[in-house]
Amino acid sequence: MENQGGHGREISFASRLTRSEVQRRMMMLPVLAVAAFFEYEEGRLFFMDVKDSLGQAWIFLCRFHANEEMGNYFCISWPQFSMEKGLKENDEVIFTDRPRLEGESPERKFKVEIKRKIRLFGVDMWGELNV
């Protein structure tokens, strides 16, 4: 799912949060949404380095799951991030692949943006959550 973001950056993968994801402080995506960035291996557990829009570094715990009913999916666990950002149902979470800097480890690095729908003068608008 690669699209042009609002700032001319490539969106690597994105999703709107469900009530269940907010309550569990996690995000689930179909494996195909992240296939270009991570190699699927059932049960694989790893860390993902992320920076938010304020430049704060976060480490998310990620895992690949297989489920007969849901198929293969990718799960991001982020309890501290979720609480500090005050994530809500229908917030859009956008991950953008960011280039590695000289001297950084070879693992992929991402930038995360949170967008929330607000209603202004009867019009729905999406604004970036900078908390």
Confirm if 17 and 89 have CB atoms less than 8 A apart.
Answer: yes
Per-residue pLDDT of the chain in tens (131 residues, 90 and over written 9): 444 444 445 779 999 999 999 999 999 999 999 999 888 988 889 999 999 999 999 999 999 999 888 889 999 999 999 999 999 999 999 999 887 767 666 678 899 999 999 888 989 888 887 76
pLDDT at 99: 73
pTM for the whole thing?
Answer: 0.81
Give the residue extent of every domain in the chain: 3-128
C-alpha 120, offset from chain centre: 26
Which CATH architecture group holds 3-128? Beta Barrel (2.40)
DSSP 106: S
C-alpha 5, offset from chain centre: 14
